Amino acid sequence: GRAGAVAAVDLGATSGRVIIGHVGRDTLHLDHVARFANGPVRLASGLHWDLTGLLAHALDGLAQAVHAESAIASVGIDSWAVDYVLMRGDRMLGEPFHYRDDRTAGGVEAVHAVAGFDELYTRNGLQFLAFNTLYQLAADRRDGHLDVADTALLVPDALAFQLTGSRVTERTNASTTGLLRVADAQWDTELMARLQLPAGLFPDLVDPGTSLGTLRPALAEQVGAALEVVTVGSHDTASAVVAIPMADPETSAYISCGTWGLVGLELDKPVTTDAARLANVTNEGGVDGRVRFLHNVMGLWLLSESVRQWERDSGQAIDLPTLLADAAEVPAASVAVFDANDPVFLAPGDMPGRIAHWYRSHDLPVPATRAAFARAIVESLAEAFARTVRTVAELAGREVDTIHVVGGGALNTLLCQRTADRAGLTVLAGPVEATALGNVLVQARAHGWLGRDATLEDMRALVSRTTAPRRYSPRA
């Protein structure tokens, strides 16, 4: 059958990657060509992303990709959700805010004064997260930034605009703004008007698999090819879910585990019942109109931010595999579980200090060593994962027998085993690079390499044929 190569630009909260994907009906293979660091930058105005730097790294990576594989048909971009760049004409009005910046508290109040959370949930189906785009925009409005902006571009769309000059909003990521109707996945212009947001602030919606044209001539020269840019599930979690090798979505739950642990189910229709709202479960838009019915659990952020603090304290690098091996030797029963979802853990900073404070204020013993801290984090994440799987299954009326773990967390054997143990369910771990796989699969389908009418099930079957998950059986 036909096969070809595409490039994926996959931007995570701690690192970005450029990857070549070789895809055909019986082929699915990734080549990593570039990896670069990413993270919050503390400007005088608050926590931002260095989008300009990420663009430069993406272009370098694409040049390397074209050098390594001359037949690259297109590039797809995905990143974390919710964040955006304000534009006036072709010009960026500064670097985007990082969703962990704390300016949004006032935005939440301003939005809820106009439309309460109950009403919002029936309109947009989203869990409450203080950094959802609509709250950030309310803060921008308060601070006068919307007076000068004519357009807002979500992060992957902002990069696609820089590459091609096309202004669009990709639909899966738009579903995380709070401004998309859950009922029909169209802009909620009535809500935008009530929030005094300009109606045309976001460009028109497009679905994954849409061509945005080719690289601007100057960039084509820099990269070495006039690559076509094709939309994918530009919300990284949407792309990840494409590549979860669920044999049966009816009985499978998933955890897309990186900085965040996105724990949920794939549904055909949203569930926006009172019970789902009270459990704060989201209905995000997936590829092919599927629904990502999930809850954000704090994720490996707790561990990586703790490691950063210990490294700052000691001036010495910490080897994560060694730390986790030591953590595995700490008896589970010797550490108390803390609430991994407590919003006090959201902002960057002294994570071990905050965890210690959480224990003290709940009259629970503080772990005595770093290994014990790491064990407590793993146990607390595993418990939150297991509990969330039970909650979403119950809310959706499903009987789950398998939990798929994809993303970097699939490499964390202790976390996978403890999740299986605490859930009492089989965990299938992998692929680690689900997001990049989902990105390249959607491009390949757009090129007709998988058959034009290839379904998500066809794509997942290809993932199953070409990657082998690691199985963790629950222990008593």
d(CA 89, CA 97): 19
Under rule CB under 6 A, residue 237 binds ligand LRH: yes
| Nearest one of 14, 9, 456, 26 to 254, comparing CA atoms | 456
Least distance (Å) between residue 178 CB and ligand LRH: 12
Residue 236 among the catalytic residues: yes
Least distance (Å) between residue 296 CB and ligand LRH: 5
Least distance (Å) between residue 276 CB and ligand LRH: 17
Least distance (Å) between residue 407 CB and ligand LRH: 9
Q: Which stretch binds ligand LRH (CB under 6 A): 188-196, 234-242, 338-346, 357-365?
A: 234-242
Under rule CB under 6 A, residue 297 binds ligand LRH: no
Under rule CB under 6 A, residue 99 binds ligand LRH: yes
Under rule CB under 6 A, residue 80 binds ligand LRH: yes
Q: Which stretch binds ligand LRH (CB under 6 A): 109-117, 231-239, 301-309, 358-366?
A: 231-239
The contact mask relative to ligand LRH for 30-69 (x = CB under 6 A, - = no) is ----------------------------------------
Under rule CB under 6 A, residue 132 binds ligand LRH: no
Least distance (Å) between residue 128 CB and ligand LRH: 12
| Nearest one of 167, 131, 172 to 149, comparing CA atoms | 167
Residue of 28, 82, 219, 374 that binds ligand LRH (CB under 6 A): 82
Count of alpha carbons within 13 Å of 289, Cβ hemisphere only? Answer: 7
Following DSSP, what letter does each residue of 321-363 receive, concatenated? Answer: HHHHHHHHHS-GGGS----TT-GGGSSSS-HHHHHHHHHHHTT
d(CA 423, CA 400): 10
Pairing type for strands 3-11 and 15-24 reads antiparallel
Q: Which stretch binds ligand LRH (CB under 6 A): 67-75, 139-147, 222-230, 255-263?
A: 255-263
Under rule CB under 6 A, residue 293 binds ligand LRH: no
Helix (H, G, I), strand (E, B) or coil at 99: coil
Tokens (6 digits) for 272: 């926006």
Residue of 236, 266, 379, 433 that binds ligand LRH (CB under 6 A): 236
Cβ neighbours of residue 119 under 8 Å, at least 6 residues apart? none
Can you state the angle between helices 370-396 and 413-423, rounded to 10 degrees? 50
Catalytic-role residue among 50, 78, 140, 236: 236
The 3 state secondary structure assigned to 161-206 is: HHHHCCCCEEHHHHCCCCCECCCCCCECHHHHHHCCCCCCCCCCEE
Under rule CB under 6 A, residue 97 binds ligand LRH: no
d(CA 297, CA 127): 12
Number of residues that make up the chain: 476
Residue of 136, 234, 296, 419 that binds ligand LRH (CB under 6 A): 296
Under rule CB under 6 A, residue 379 binds ligand LRH: no
Under rule CB under 6 A, residue 81 binds ligand LRH: yes
Tokens (6 digits) for 446: 């757009």
- Whether cis (ω within 30° of 0) applies to the bond prior to 431 is yes
Least distance (Å) between residue 260 CB and ligand LRH: 5
d(CA 209, CA 232): 6
Which residues contact ligand LRH by CB under 6 A?
13, 80-82, 99, 235-237, 259-260, 262, 296
Which residues are designated catalytic?
236
